[in-house]
């Protein structure tokens, strides 16, 4: 079994913000697989999908971003999911809007959701899809920027990125992550 986690913040005020792109991609992945994210457990909302014979949990932690690992770890323990079967999707200020980067390991790079995940799963060796949201250029604070919504033009780009990310997730359910990285990076 694998687990695909989208990071974000719970609550309608955070819907469709830059920081919640991980949630948005999980929503699209569930929709693409005719699944409803309507089960709750371990401080998260989730569903289970089957794709090409592979079973996967889709999870949106209902903790705030900086506590994401508090939801992820209990799922991994309960379902006996090894760290190499974890994929985390999250926003990245260091990539331009519309760019995605798949990685098998790495540091948190200042991302509090990834810091929490690393602390709770016991290491950095898990798969990731980093989704570029760029940095503010108009003097706006980082926190106001990441909690803001995409512009209309950016949202058009992000709609395409979400679909590409969904396809990358589905490919990982079919083949090794290293092959998916080579295909999508």
The strand pairing partners of 58, in sequence order, are 4, 47
Query: What are all long-range contacts of 31-39, with beta carbons under 8 Å and residues at least 24 apart?
Result: 32/166, 32/170, 33/170
CB 47 within 8 A of CB 31: no
Structure tokens at 184: 């999508």
19 in active site: yes
Cβ atoms within 10 Å of 40's Cβ, excluding its own:
10
State the DSSP H helix or E strand holding residue 128, giving kind and residue range, or none if neither: strand 127-132
Which residues are catalytically annotated? 19
């Amino acid at each position: 079994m694998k687990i695909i986690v989208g990071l974000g913040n719970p609550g309608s005020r955070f819907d469709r913000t830059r920081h919640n792109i991980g949630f948005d991609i999980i929503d699209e992945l569930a929709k693409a697989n005719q699944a409803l994210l309507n089960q709750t457990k371990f401080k998260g909302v989730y569903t289970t999908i089957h794709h090409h014979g592979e079973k996967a949990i889709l999870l949106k932690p209902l903790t705030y971003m900086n506590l994401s690992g508090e939801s992820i770890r209990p799922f991994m323990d309960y379902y006996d999911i090894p760290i190499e079967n974890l994929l985390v999707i999250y926003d990245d200020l260091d990539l331009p809007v519309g760019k995605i980067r798949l990685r098998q390991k790495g540091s948190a790079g200042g991302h509090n959701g990834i810091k929490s995940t690393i602390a709770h799963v016991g290491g950095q060796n898990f798969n990731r899809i980093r989704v570029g949201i760029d940095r503010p250029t108009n003097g706006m604070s980082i926190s106001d920027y990441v909690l803001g919504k995409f512009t209309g033009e950016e949202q058009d780009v992000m709609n395409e990125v979400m679909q590409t990310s969904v396809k990358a997730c589905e490919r990982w359910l079919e083949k090794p992550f290293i092959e998916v990285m080579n295909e999508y990076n």
